Amino acid sequence: QVQLQGSGPTLVKPSETLSLTCTVSGDSIRPYYWSWIRQPPGKGLEWIGYVFTSESPTYNPSLKTRVTISMDTSKSQFSLKLTSVTAADTAVYYCARGHRDMDLWGKGTTVTVSS
C-alpha cells in the first residue's frame, strides 16, 4: 500500500525558511510526478508546484521567488523549501502523487509561522 508521510518543523519564525519532506513508501518514486499543495486555516487549496525526476520543477508564480521543490530518489523523498516566510504562509501543507490528477495525498503537515 503506497503511503505519503510528510515531516518537518511545525513552527517557523517569520523571515526564516520552511522545510518539509514527504517520504514515499510502498512504491517507487521515479515514475511519478509529485506535488505540494497548501491550505491556510479555514480557507481553500493553493497549488504550490511539482517535481519529476527528469524535468525542472514547476512552481506557482505567486511563490516562485521563494520556493524550491526537489527530489531525492535514493531516499524516496521529495522536499519543499519556502524562504522568507510570513504569517500568510501559515497553512496545512500537503504532499501528493501526480501533477494533474493527484490520486494520493499525505495527511498534511500543519505549519505555523510565528515568533
Partner 1 sequence: EIVLTQSPDFQSVTPKEKVTITCRASQSIGSILHWYQQKPDQSPKLLIKFASQSISGVPSRFSGSGSGTDFTLTINGLEAEDAAAYYCHQTSTLPFTFGPGTKVDIK
* Interface positions with partner 1 (CB under 8 A): 37, 44-47, 58, 60-62, 94, 99-103, 105-108
Task: State the nearest-atom distance from the C-beta of 39 to partner 1, in Å.
Answer: 8
Q: Which is nearer to partner 1, 31 or 61 (CB)?
A: 61
Q: Which is nearer to partner 1, 13 or 107 (CB)?
A: 107
Q: Which is nearer to partner 1, 15 or 62 (CB)?
A: 62
List Cα–Cα distances, 85 to 58, 72, 79, 93, 95, in angstroms.
20, 24, 16, 14, 19
Grid coordinates of 98: 501526480
Task: State the nearest-atom distance from the C-beta of 13 to partner 1, in Å.
Answer: 26
Provide DSSP, 53-115. TTEEEEE-TTTTTTEEEEEEGGGTEEEEEE-S--GGG-EEEEEEE-SSS--EE---EEEEE--
Task: State the nearest-atom distance from the C-beta of 60 to partner 1, in Å.
Answer: 5
